[in-house]
């Protein structure tokens, strides 16, 4: 008789254990519908955004490639206790980002140090709602109304002069233009953010560097510290974590303080300049707090300059590697006096795309600066069917979109690894691609338009896409009209017409994974000033 209570306790404990195990297994499915396939037992150290995780992105892309190969275009990994869904299908991307735009317009909450610091009040980190809408509308209207012609001309002129000087001073004209290109793009966006006069502050000051150089240095310093601190969970022991964490967080706080002071110095200077409207002026009319103002300036400069300058370096690298394309581009730009930077419209109303635009689009397809969109999340469970299998994307999961994978999908693109701008001209498989899919609501365009999404799609798509395209076209065209960009093979420049040595690649096109996917080896090229410029 006395055994009965014991048996009852044992049976009850067993029931609880069975229930808990079942509950744990059920994390892999909701209402009987499974999560997308993946490796449920392997919990990768993911944060909400891949942008915060550069040390592990390289290994992650290999894991993902294997998973996609084994299970199809939608797979699951685990970020701590949250499922992280990875989408590499343009149809599912269209369905979730465009057709169900409002459901997938949310961002996961973040514990990242960037989000609690300089990035805390940005458009990208704002919860989908009123504040986000006001800030985003403000940014979009500023970019649409901004007169970019003047700052663009000044930045391009300064860039050409710097490269001219560098090529003259270098042996045989061989230069590594990466930093000069990046600085020119940074100065252009600084003019849009802080006013035209900001470019003038780039001259050396007492500290041996201009305000913009200092600001750019601070961006690099903060990003590098955030990446190191976000990788903290990879450090094996608690003691090491503390030793790793404390000095770096102190440095981060200090860098953020200096960043705050530099931005406010530019804002104060701006008030004296009294020029055409800049982004800071629009923010001042919104009556934001100082931290919000600084955070939004950080976001503007960070989102705009790093991505655009990275794209520019990839474009120029491609033109060095493919001399025939560079030649065709030069002919197209200079032929019959045309110096167009945009698509032209014929009398019939249909648009004819310039070869220059086709080159930029092909570079963005083949080398998207962001290999993944910023992470999205959903406000409810969403069921979907991919390749005949039903699955659920649970509410609150981290949803990542493989930009590079979609742009290189062999089902959408012929010879996807080949760099061929002609695919964006009439008759090519990319000709129909225009603008950003789904922005402006209304269900969005057909999935055909989602063959590449370097700027994202739907409500959270990049608000700077149109400006970036103009900047890339203008910089690229001017750089090609002014210089011949020649390959440097095996450490020595090849003169025109000489046979290239086969064994040494002229340009290393391998990628360095990170917040933005840069070239692993910065471009090295021989610059030759063109005849018509010399005259």
Position 369 contacts ligand HEM (CB under 6 A): yes
The CA distances from residue 509 to 34, 438, 466, in Å, are 39, 32, 26
Among 54, 400, 468, 517, binds ligand HEM (CB under 6 A): 468
Which is nearer to ligand HEM, 177 or 402 (by Cβ)? 402
Closest CA to 83 of 35, 129, 117, 26: 35
Which is nearer to ligand HEM, 119 or 525 (by Cβ)? 119
Give the H/E segment covering residue 482: helix 465-482
Among 330, 355, 413, 455, binds ligand HEM (CB under 6 A): 455
Position 444 contacts ligand HEM (CB under 6 A): no
Least spacing, CB of residue 409 vs ligand HEM, in Å: 17
Position 118 contacts ligand HEM (CB under 6 A): no
Return the bridge partners of 36, or none: none
Least spacing, CB of residue 373 vs ligand HEM, in Å: 4
Which is nearer to ligand HEM, 359 or 467 (by Cβ)? 467
The span of 83-91, 318-326, 329-337, 369-377 binding ligand HEM (CB under 6 A) equals 369-377
Which is nearer to ligand HEM, 121 or 300 (by Cβ)? 300
Task: Return the residue nearest ligand HEM (CB atom).
Answer: 464
Q: Is 101 helix (H, G, I), strand (E, B) or coil?
A: coil
Least spacing, CB of residue 366 vs ligand HEM, in Å: 13
Q: Which of residues 125-144 bind ligand HEM (CB under 6 A)?
A: 136, 139, 143
**Number of shown-chain residues binding ligand HEM (CB under 6 A):** 26
Q: Is 467 helix (H, G, I), strand (E, B) or coil?
A: helix
Closest CA to 90 of 412, 374, 364: 412
Q: Considering Cα of 109, then 216, then 192, then 150, what sign does the dihedral take?
A: negative
Contact by Cβ (8 Å): 329, 480: yes
Q: Is 382 helix (H, G, I), strand (E, B) or coil?
A: strand
462 is in an annotated binding site: yes
User: In the chain, what is the greatest distance between 2 CA atoms, to the nearest angstrom?
Assistant: 110
Beta strands in 146-192 (DSSP E): 174-175
Closest CA to 213 of 223, 203, 222, 226: 203
Among 46, 263, 316, 461, binds ligand HEM (CB under 6 A): 461
The span of 75-83, 297-305, 415-423, 524-532 binding ligand HEM (CB under 6 A) equals 297-305
Position 437 contacts ligand HEM (CB under 6 A): no
Return the bridge partners of 258, or none: none
Least spacing, CB of residue 142 vs ligand HEM, in Å: 9
Q: Tell the burial category of 209 from Cβ atoms under 10 Å away from its Cβ (0-12, 13-18, 19+).
A: middle
Among 304, 316, 398, 480, binds ligand HEM (CB under 6 A): 304
Contact by Cβ (8 Å): 108, 374: no
The span of 59-67, 256-264, 296-304, 338-346 binding ligand HEM (CB under 6 A) equals 296-304
- Calpha distance 76→389 (Å, rounded): 14
Contact by Cβ (8 Å): 509, 523: no
Which is nearer to ligand HEM, 84 or 488 (by Cβ)? 84
- Calpha distance 115→121 (Å, rounded): 8
Least spacing, CB of residue 181 vs ligand HEM, in Å: 13
- Token pair, residue 417, equals 């690894």
Among 101, 173, 421, 463, binds ligand HEM (CB under 6 A): 463
Q: Is 484 helix (H, G, I), strand (E, B) or coil?
A: strand
Closest CA to 400 of 380, 381, 379, 372: 372
The CA distances from residue 171 to 84, 165, 166, in Å, are 50, 12, 10
Least spacing, CB of residue 421 vs ligand HEM, in Å: 17
Position 474 contacts ligand HEM (CB under 6 A): no
Among 199, 370, 398, 436, binds ligand HEM (CB under 6 A): 370
Which is nearer to ligand HEM, 26 or 141 (by Cβ)? 141
Position 525 contacts ligand HEM (CB under 6 A): no
Annotated binding site for heme: 462
Q: Which residues in this chain contact ligand HEM in the complex, by CB under 6 A? A: 123-124, 136, 139, 143, 299-300, 303-304, 307-308, 311, 369-370, 373-374, 454-456, 460-464, 467-468
């Amino acid at each position: 008789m006395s055994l009965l209570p014991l048996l009852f306790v044992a049976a009850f404990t067993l029931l609880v254990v069975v229930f808990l195990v079942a509950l744990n297994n059920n994390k892999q499915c909701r209402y009987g519908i499974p999560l997308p396939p993946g490796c449920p037992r392997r919990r990768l150290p993911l944060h909400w955004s891949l942008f915060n995780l550069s040390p592990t992105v390289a290994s992650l892309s290999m894991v993902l490639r294997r998973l996609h190969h084994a299970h199809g275009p939608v797979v699951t990994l685990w970020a701590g206790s949250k499922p992280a869904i990875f989408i590499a299908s343009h149809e599912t991307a269209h369905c979730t980002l465009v057709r169900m735009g409002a459901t997938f317009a949310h961002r996961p909450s973040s514990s990242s140090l960037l989000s609690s610091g300089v990035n805390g009040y940005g458009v990208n980190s704002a919860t989908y709602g009123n504040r986000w809408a006001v800030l985003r509308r403000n940014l979009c209207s500023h970019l649409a109304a901004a007169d970019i012609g003047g700052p663009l001309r000044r930045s391009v002129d300064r860039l050409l002069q710097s490269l001219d000087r560098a090529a003259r001073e270098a042996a045989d004209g061989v230069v590594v233009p990466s930093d000069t290109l990046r600085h020119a793009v940074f100065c252009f966006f600084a003019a849009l953010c802080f006013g035209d006069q900001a470019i003038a502050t780039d001259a050396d000051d007492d500290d041996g560097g201009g305000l913009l150089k200092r600001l750019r240095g601070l961006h690099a310093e903060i990003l590098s510290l955030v990446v190191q601190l976000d990788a903290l969970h990879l450090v094996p022991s608690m003691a090491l974590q503390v030793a790793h964490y404390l000095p770096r967080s102190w440095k981060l706080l200090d860098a953020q303080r200096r960043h705050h002071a530099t931005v406010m110095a530019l804002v104060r200077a701006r008030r004296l300049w009294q020029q055409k409207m800049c982004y800071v002026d629009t923010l001042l009319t919104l009556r934001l707090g100082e931290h919000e103002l600084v955070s939004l300036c950080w976001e503007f400069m960070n989102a705009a300059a790093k991505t655009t300058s990275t794209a520019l370096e990839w474009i120029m690298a491609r033109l060095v590697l493919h001399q025939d394309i560079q030649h065709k581009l030069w002919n197209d730009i200079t032929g019959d006096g045309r110096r167009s930077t945009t698509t032209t419209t014929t009398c019939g109303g249909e648009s004819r795309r310039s070869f220059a635009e086709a080159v930029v689009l092909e570079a963005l397809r083949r080398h998207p600066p962001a290999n993944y969109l910023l992470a999205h999340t959903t406000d409810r469970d969403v069921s979907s069917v991919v390749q005949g299998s039903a699955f659920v994307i649970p509410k609150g999961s981290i949803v990542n979109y493989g930009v590079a994978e979609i742009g290189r999908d062999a089902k959408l693109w012929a010879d996807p690894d080949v760099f061929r701008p002609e695919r964006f001209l009439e008759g090519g498989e990319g000709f129909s691609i225009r603008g950003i899919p789904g922005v402006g609501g209304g269900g969005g365009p057909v999935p055909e338009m989602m063959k590449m999404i370097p700027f994202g799609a739907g409500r959270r798509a990049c608000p700077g896409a149109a400006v970036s395209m103009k900047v890339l076209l203008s910089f690229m065209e001017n750089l090609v009209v002014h210089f011949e960009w020649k390959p440097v093979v095996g450490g020595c420049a090849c003169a025109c017409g000489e046979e290239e040595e086969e064994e040494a690649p002229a340009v290393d096109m391998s990628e360095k994974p990170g917040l933005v996917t840069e070239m692993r080896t910065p471009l090295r090229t021989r610059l030759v000033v063109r005849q018509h410029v010399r005259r």
